Structure 1
Amino acid sequence: MIYDALDPSVALNRNADIAIVGSGPAGITLARALGAHYSVLLLEAGGNEASSAGDDCLAGYVSGLHYPLTETRARQLGGATALWAGYCAVFDPIDFDTRPWVVNSGWPLDAAELIEHYWEAAKRLHVRDGCFDPNAFEAHGEYVFLRLDDNNFLPGIWRFGEPKADFAGENRHFLERSDSIDVLINGCVTSIQLTDDGDTVARLTVRTLAGASGTITAKYFIIAAGGIETPRLMLASKDRSPEGVGNAHDNVGRWFMEHPHVSVEGIELAPNPALARWTGVASTRDGRKFTYCAGLRADAQARLGVLNARAHFYRTPAMDANAAPRVGLFFEQAPNASSRLTLTSEKDGFGLSRVRLHWELSEIDRRSHRIFGDLLADCLLRNGIGMLTGSVGVSDEILHSNHQLGTTRMSKHPRDGVVDENCKVHGIDNLYIAGGSVLPTVSWANPTVTVLALTLRLARHLVDQLGNRMAS
């Protein structure tokens, strides 16, 4: 059932086997998977649609690089999928490795454990065959310039589900009729309260914009509220320790990563009908939508000491349909403890402290932009695929991608992160985190497929591991 916390007749004191905070792709996927075995309460701070009052609670302060906190997030059933453009891609094997030239890289799990869930994750995003191998699409495009420089470049691909996944719309009917899943909208969780020993979550506090409040009890709790709201809630929960929940080593809110996007100035693609498929979205004969991109090979990344990235060729909406395409670079951001989220003394309508986000890039980020941009421009010009329009170089302007990642990062040791390889918060027995905030490194790829794969892995782990505990 779906209940509205703003309805005075709806009880705000609730109990379930598992409470999930956040109704985005991770939250809804977990609710459906776990609801087949346990009673689940899914909590959403927003309503069925976005509202100005709800959006105001997303506002905060920013330093460092520009970042619009309200425009990049959505507070409503379905979460950030309301803003999602539908780009689907998967991480490369190198993204999971400990790379000597990328400080704090490496995942604490076997990448195969995650990759095995990619097909199902893609299917849930309506990419029906789960194929992300660009060679499978070779007949539909051209690899002209990639084959001219095999020592550096390799092809990549974005896929698009048909139709674009709408988690709220697709799941609303099921959630309304479910006997095992209750959904509470317009109820914002404002506090995680631990037991006296600090090892277990005892309850959550939920509030409404009308001033009502309630208590949520459960055996297990999962926070799936996104890369800003999840650490915000943990930092604001100070009833047992002033540093917040799960923050004994000062990692909650740190390691904020995005996917910086820059353009290569002074160059554009030369007229070449063979490269038409590289610009915009193409379709195979059977209707699979895709677009090509180009990246650095793993051995080239190691040799050059740079981050993972992809180049794409684009026209802005303001450009003429026949205008020469421009070159854009879509980058991994390196883990950086100084890029972080903190709380201010100002409160929002729910009584939660507003956030301050400091987003900055490190030297390896800037260096990677320059090296990849120069290599790509040289290759395009050398092979007659690009033409000069001015002085070549990457733009100074750093664009964001609406991806808030890394702020509750996964780590083997508690001193290095917030959650373990199974997404359980270090030192707390019944608290888990789902979503992009747990990613220790973020690849070049749009994170939705990987986030869903991690979510499916977590659901399997919880079903396998909690059965006997829940029965006791």
Structure 2
Amino acid sequence: MIADLRSGAAPAEISGDVCVVGTGPAGITLALELARKGKTVVLLEGGGPIYEEESQDLYRGAVTGHDHIDVANSRLRQFGGTSGHWTGLCAPLDPLDFEKRADMPTHGWPVTREELNPFYARAQDYLDLGPFKYELADWSAVLPHKALPLDPAKVFTDVYQESPPTRFAEKFYDRIANEPRIQCWMHASLTDVTLQDGSDVVRSITARTLDGRQTTVKAKTYVIACGGLENARILLNCRKQRPAGLGNERDLVGRYYTDHMTIETTTVMFNEGVDTSLYATDMEAAGTKLLIGLKLNPDLIKSMGLNNNSAFLVPQYDKEVYNDDFRDYGWIAFSTMLKTFSRGHVPDRFAERYCDMTDDLGQVATGVYRHAVRSFMPPVQPARVYKLRQDAEQSPNPDSRVTLITDKDPLGLNRIALDWRVTSDDLLKLRRTHQVIGAAIGAAGLGRMRLGIGEKPDLELAYSAYHHMGTTRMHDDPKQGVVDRDCRVHSVANLYMAGSSTFTTGGCANPTLTVVTLAIRLAEHLAVAA
């Protein structure tokens, strides 16, 4: 069932076995998995079925740290959540990402990659991916090109899969609407969490609309699945019974915010005759779209004290018509609108995107022309020069954080300030990673590298990938994390967090696959506990 809280049809009190707040990939996956196991679910969405300026404004906030980031338009407050922005690149986190490391005392999860593998395999279908295979050996027999002959003790070839990308609103709206065990209420923003007097048990939550309608939700178990920024904002705003906010007794909620640093700077120049076709673009193998990159051996990462990183090769052609340097905000706005209209939908932020496009018509025209030329005159041979592009990992940093500011939204909740810390140390680790890749390419006689990150790094090189992670991090020790290994808030008996806010480390894989994986795992736990 899907209904609208603004309609006035909602009862004063709604009940179910589990209340899930948020209809992004985490919330929808969790609701469907729980319903399949016979649980009744109250599913709340703060926005509507499509983009709305009024609902989206609730995400507005401040940026006080590294400013190559956005807190409002990088996420979507509507059914399907930020899957409406998602580009579709998928890989599981590496075993290394879960390990405790001597060089990083706060690194490591309380669960292992091996424990998550069965749930990763189940998550593939939610995201319309191929089989749960992410090793080059799994695909080499069906790939049309060979990997570069690099020393695997230093650098190996890395495999990602590409989702269409799956838009959860499009794929799952009807399934949610027709599922009798799910009550989904639109325009129902969580505004308060009430504990039973003198206890650590949630008694109810309050959901409100922007026009003042309100309902109370009672369940055995509650899950907040509103994204890496909003999860922290909600907990910090629930101060009526706990002055510091729910789960924030040790000032950890909002801390350890991490993102992926999107950087494209270092250049690799391959010798003539080197076949780089495997890395030049995405490709289809046995019905699955793949993107291939380069990654350091995990033992080397640990011994050198580096962060994790997958580097993709972006071709740089002598003929400008084959290069993608036109891909700025105007082109992104144009291509996003074109893709959305082609699916029969009106693009979100239409007026803003239209202005971005018209303000930069020259680049849009360049992009249209180059794509047209490429359609009938593709490159004769692969490029020899490539830029390394990556969404690079950051080291866990408690000073990188989300806090509340005095400005309040129309529902009365304090807005957030995001202090995203990008450090010279993070960039120097990426520089050393590039040096290892360059040395491996040189040792194999394949080419040479020109480093794009200096010994005194320019922090302006780093842009946010909008992968908001870590603000309610998972840890067995409540002194080091907000939730436990089952994603339960340490200090609240029946309140759980879902999504990328629970990540202890960010790794270098895009988070959506792991978000869905953890939601399936949480559903298994709640099916017994709830």
* Corresponding residue number in structure 2 for 1:339: 400
Alignment of 1:368-383 (within 5 A): 368-381=429-442, 383=444
* Corresponding residue number in structure 2 for 1:69: 71
Gap runs ≥5 in structure 1: 467-472
SS at match of 1:415: coil
CA contact (8 A) 1:141 1:278 kept: no
* Corresponding residue number in structure 2 for 1:54: 55
* Corresponding residue number in structure 2 for 1:318: 325
SS at match of 1:235: helix
- Residues 118-153 of structure 1 show CA distances to partners (whole Å, capped at 9, x for unaligned) of 1111122111312111222224255554x3333311
Mapped to 2, the partners of 1:395 and 1:138 lie a distance apart of: 38
Mapped to 2, the partners of 1:392 and 1:83 lie a distance apart of: 29
SS at match of 1:95: helix
Mapped to 1, the partners of 2:131 and 2:147 lie a distance apart of: 26
Change (3 A) 1:385 1:74: farther
SS at match of 1:441: coil
AA matched with 1:369: L
Mapped to 2, the partners of 1:111 and 1:390 lie a distance apart of: 33
Bigger shift: 361-370 or 399-408?
361-370
- Residues 240-287 of structure 1 show CA distances to partners (whole Å, capped at 9, x for unaligned) of 111000111111111101111222335455665721220221112x32
Change (3 A) 1:82 1:166: same
CA contact (8 A) 2:150 2:156 kept: no
Measured on the aligned residues, the alpha-carbon RMSD in Å equals: 2.1
Change (3 A) 1:175 1:386: same
- C-alpha deviation, 1:30, in angstroms: 1.0
- C-alpha deviation, 1:64, in angstroms: 1.7
CA contact (8 A) 2:236 2:245 kept: yes
Change (3 A) 1:244 1:137: same
Bigger shift: 319-328 or 450-459?
319-328
- C-alpha deviation, 1:374, in angstroms: 2.1
AA matched with 2:290: F
AA matched with 2:208: R
Alignment of 1:5-24 (within 5 A): 5-11=5-11, 13-24=13-24
Mapped to 2, the partners of 1:25 and 1:333 lie a distance apart of: 24
Mapped to 2, the partners of 1:364 and 1:103 lie a distance apart of: 16
- C-alpha deviation, 1:59, in angstroms: 1.1
**1:226 counterpart = 2:233:** no
- How many corresponding residue pairs? 463
Alignment of 1:92-103 (within 5 A): 92-103=94-105
- C-alpha deviation, 1:334, in angstroms: 1.4
**1:171 counterpart = 2:172:** yes
- C-alpha deviation, 1:419, in angstroms: 0.6
Change (3 A) 1:3 1:213: same
Change (3 A) 1:219 1:269: same
* Corresponding residue number in structure 2 for 1:134: 136
- C-alpha deviation, 1:208, in angstroms: 1.0
Mapped to 1, the partners of 2:158 and 2:42 lie a distance apart of: 39
Mapped to 2, the partners of 1:263 and 1:218 lie a distance apart of: 47
- C-alpha deviation, 1:445, in angstroms: 0.8
AA matched with 2:34: L
* Corresponding residue number in structure 2 for 1:351: 412
CA contact (8 A) 2:147 2:278 kept: no
**1:296 counterpart = 2:360:** no
Change (3 A) 1:148 1:116: same
SS at match of 1:54: helix
Gap runs ≥5 in structure 2: 316-322, 327-369
CA contact (8 A) 1:264 1:373 kept: no
- Residues 272-325 of structure 1 show CA distances to partners (whole Å, capped at 9, x for unaligned) of 5721220221112x3211010111111111221111111101256336665643
**1:365 counterpart = 2:426:** yes
- Residues 168-223 of structure 1 show CA distances to partners (whole Å, capped at 9, x for unaligned) of 22221122122211001111101112122240111111111112222222111001
* Corresponding residue number in structure 1 for 2:331: none
Mapped to 1, the partners of 2:411 and 2:282 lie a distance apart of: 42
AA matched with 1:103: P
- C-alpha deviation, 1:359, in angstroms: 0.3
Alignment of 1:19-418 (within 5 A): 19-36=19-36, 37-66=38-67, 67-139=69-141, 140=143, 142=145, 144-145=147-148, 147-161=149-163, 163-269=164-270, 274-284=275-285, 286-315=286-315, 317-318=324-325, 322=379, 324-362=385-423, 364-381=425-442, 383=444, 385-386=446-447, 393=454, 396=459, 397-418=461-482
SS at match of 1:123: helix
Identity in percent: 31
CA contact (8 A) 2:267 2:388 kept: no
CA contact (8 A) 2:147 2:157 kept: no
Mapped to 2, the partners of 1:388 and 1:155 lie a distance apart of: 18
Mapped to 2, the partners of 1:458 and 1:429 lie a distance apart of: 15
Q: Normalised by the size of structure 1, how large is the TM-score?
A: 0.92
Mapped to 2, the partners of 1:84 and 1:171 lie a distance apart of: 16
* Corresponding residue number in structure 1 for 2:343: none
- C-alpha deviation, 1:21, in angstroms: 0.4
- C-alpha deviation, 1:331, in angstroms: 1.5
SS at match of 1:104: coil
**1:456 counterpart = 2:520:** yes
Q: Normalised by the size of structure 2, how large is the TM-score?
A: 0.83
* Corresponding residue number in structure 2 for 1:436: 500
